[in-house]
Structure 1
Amino acid sequence: MSKANTVNERRRARVRRSIQKAANGRPRLSVHRTSQHIYAQVIDDKAGNTLAAASSLEKTLRESLKTGADTAAASAIGKLIAERALAAGITSVVFDRGSFLYHGRVKALAEAAREGGLEF
């Protein structure tokens, strides 16, 4: 395993530990980004299932977005995940950025989700 993978795994574990302490039964808004796309899921860790999901791979978004790898795509995913979570009856979540820094696309997704009505 390379040193970069080890650092990312340690950061992910550190973030996950702090999220579990602060969750208080709230679902987790998990964000994953790659070089070409961004994904978001609202996960109930107690039941172990996904309550809402959105990604830049969805057909309606692929047609309307220039690319899935910019802040415009991230904000569109943030609004969509907030809309789907509210439709599922979820208003408050805890934000899980994974091993990614709260900057750029991850920050744009989080801010759009807040504007869409999610509280975290």
Structure 2
Amino acid sequence: MTAKVLKRKLALRLKRKRRVRAKISGCPVCPRISIFKSNRTIYVQAINDVTATTIAAASGKTLGIKANKDGAVVLAKEFAAALKAKGIETGVFDRNGYLYHGVVAAFADALRENGIKL
């Protein structure tokens, strides 16, 4: 892919991200669960938008998992345990401009299976 194509692809994702973020917000009881994926790994964090702080975070890099559906399920299990340790049972899912498909959908479904309501 050329640089021009990649630049447009990123610009379109950021446009989708802003559109989604305009509609959702996290609070201490129901934080925003934001996912970021690269070609190598997946990062996720629970954010309290009222005070602009991160409540909990997990990274596929520290767990040594790849950015695929199986890795997303493992990361969701670890992240759900971290959220439950903080006493959080619900959250608002922020797909961060990505399509709700593949790795993103697998992560969200695994969070629901592990007891976090989205």
**TM-score, normalization by structure 2:** 0.87
Counterpart position of 2:75: 77
**1:97 to 2:95 alignment:** yes
Q: Match of 1:53, SS?
A: strand
Structure 2 gap ranges (5+) = none
Aligned equivalents of 1:89 and 1:115: distance in 2? 17
Post-superposition shift, 1:55? 1.1
Counterpart position of 1:50: 54
Q: Match of 2:15, SS?
A: helix
Q: Match of 2:115, SS?
A: coil
Post-superposition shift, 1:24? 6.9
Q: Aligned pairs, how many?
A: 112
Counterpart position of 2:8: 3
Counterpart position of 1:19: 24
Structure 1 gap ranges (5+) = none
Counterpart position of 1:32: 36
**TM-score, normalization by structure 1:** 0.86
Over residues 11-61 of structure 1, what are the superposed CA-to-partner deviations in whole Å (9 max), with x where a residue is unaligned? 0001111213xx576210000000010011011111111111111111xx3
Post-superposition shift, 1:9? 1.2
Q: Match of 1:42, SS?
A: strand
CA RMSD of aligned residues (A): 1.6
Aligned equivalents of 1:80 and 1:52: distance in 2? 11
Q: Runs in 1 of length 4+ with deviation above 3 angstroms?
A: none
Post-superposition shift, 1:5? 2.5
Amino acid at match of 1:13: R
Q: Match of 1:19, SS?
A: coil
Amino acid at match of 1:15: V
